[in-house]
Amino acid sequence: YMAGYGLGFIQDVLKNLKLADGTTLKTAFPAEGMDLFSKLILEGHQYFVFHKNYDWNTAGRQISSPTLSNIELPASILTDAAIVFPAKATEFNNFANYVANSNQALLNPIGSKFFFKSATLASSGTNYHLNVKMTSSRVEGTECMTSAGLKNKNIALGSTPIMTKGTEYANIYPTWDWNRIPGTTAELNAMPIPAYNASTYWVQATLNPFAGGLSQGSTGIAAFSMSYGQNDTESGIVYKKAYFVYDGAMICLGNGISATTARPNNVVTSVNQCFSANNAVIFDGIEKTINSNQTTTFSNTLQWAFHENVGYVFPKSGNIVVKNDNQTGAWKDINLTYGTQINTNKVFSIWFDHGVAPANDTYEYIVMPGTTLTNVKIYIQNPIYQTVANDATVQAVKSDSKHLYGAVFQKAGTVDFNSNLVITVDKAAIVLISGQAPNYTITVSDPLYVASNSVKLTITNKALIGKNASLVGTNTVVNCTMPTGYYAGSSFQNVYVGDMNLPNIVTDLKTQKPQAVAFPNPSKGIYNLKSESPIKSVEVYNVQGQKVSELLDLDSNNVNVDLSTNCLSGIYVMKLLYSDKSQERISIVKRD
């Protein structure tokens, strides 16, 4: 509730601190408390303010008020803090200049941070802000009370504000479809459910214990499951979600999406729902513009979309709807205090449609905030994030070029990253391995927050030296002792020394120029590769990272690749090795 009571608390405390500054009364404030309060702002609030705007996951029921839903952090609070905390004056003044100048980039990108007590992952860079908010048996969701927040039911179920300006959602809420809150999976036309009135207090609370995450630098992972059962009996929708924030991109995975009881409406997973910039660009084999007053459904053909500084990539496509049209609603629909006047906003939306009664459906998409249309096209030619698992046991994403290997285990299991790296855990865990030889950082957390827990992490056929690590045969076993007590749910993190012989790929999306082109693309499986440089070999991988075809010893600028008989319809990646030992990846689509 940082944008509500949290902001008021900061203002009140700073007022007293400023009054006491320069007087003997200053000694009444203990050093430990002063340090904690300064961290509350710099290591807390700063993660949820983009330019001057708090993201909507911090607004509580205020999101349903036209005067309180779009909260700005006053720069004066930060300049006051710079006076009261002279040792941190530079940090506070930099923060103040940032919020006071809406076009100024964040001077020192603060990266990602998982707040284990509130099951929230926040990530901010120079030109983007992302947030993942979850609920569990330990953390209640966003409330409904005093006639406000009437449609808050799904807002903490893995919701994801995506910001590149700070005003993408400012007062959009009466015209939102609240069954399509960005990042969430829900049934359409199922709101509101409780009988709201002035005395109602209601909050999304589940019996689900699986909700956790971790963070390191610009990287963060969050995971949330509704598969363990929950007490919202009207919902009847279960699923498993994982979010991997890798250096500014957010890879979102879902599986097990099922209706546990008969439902009359379609179940959807929302990717985004924000103010429209009038047009969006999509690619379903042909690049097109989705203009205003248009809703288009793509049946396993949409590969990517771009709308106002944000790219959306769909590695496995799916039944996807793109809408760029007016939406209407009244503030009274979400807050009984306000009137029935109809508001109209032009809204851009994109979502997966899982159908009326989904059974173990899945989704996969990548959000690229703060980017350009050109960079999205370059990424498609050379995708640097690959999903290696998205099933009932494990959801895992790797980036060889970023040296990032992350996995969410629902239970004990093994994942093969297809990069000379295989890891196993003995129980539910979230794992991140990052870095290059000789130093690797291993971060592990317990998404079930079990007291006195310990996770055994086994890295197959690798020798590493570090805290709690031992060599068992040819494997490194790390006994990851989880923090306990107040810090249960936070991470075990240490640096390990060795050489795991992982791929060392350098990729620069801003400067990389594709050398080769594959055509026709899409095709029925026959592709012609033409390249500026001689191609030595071609490897073809499916979206699970499995090699499905290989051509060796080519040394040619013109290569034919035939996938017509041995590959199903879908998206594949060609890995090209050139004579100068450089590499390139090209995304292709096969259609029947």
Residue 475 confidence (pLDDT): 95
Asked if 211 and 223 count as a contact pair (C-beta separation under 8 A), the reply is: yes
Low-confidence ranges of the chain (pLDDT < 70): 102-109, 190-200, 204-205, 228-235, 506-515, 543-545, 581
In terms of Cα–Cα distance, which of 523, 521, 518, 503 is closest to 583? 503
Residue-wise pLDDT for 328-363, tens only, equals 999 999 998 899 999 999 999 999 999 999 999 999
Asked if 123 and 129 count as a contact pair (C-beta separation under 8 A), the reply is: yes
Residue 513 confidence (pLDDT): 47
CA distance 551 to 74: 60
Residue-wise pLDDT for 234-272, tens only, equals 468 899 999 999 988 999 999 999 988 777 899 999 999
Count of residues making up the chain:
592
CA distance 399 to 421: 12
List, as one string, the DSSP characters of 199-255.
T-EEE---S---EEEEEETTEEEEEEE-TT--S-TTT-EEEEEEEEEETTEEEEEEE
Residue 194 confidence (pLDDT): 54
Residue 398 confidence (pLDDT): 97
List, as one string, the DSSP characters of 301-351.
---EEEETTEEEE-TT--EEEEEEEEEEE-GGGTBTTS--PPEEEEEEEEE
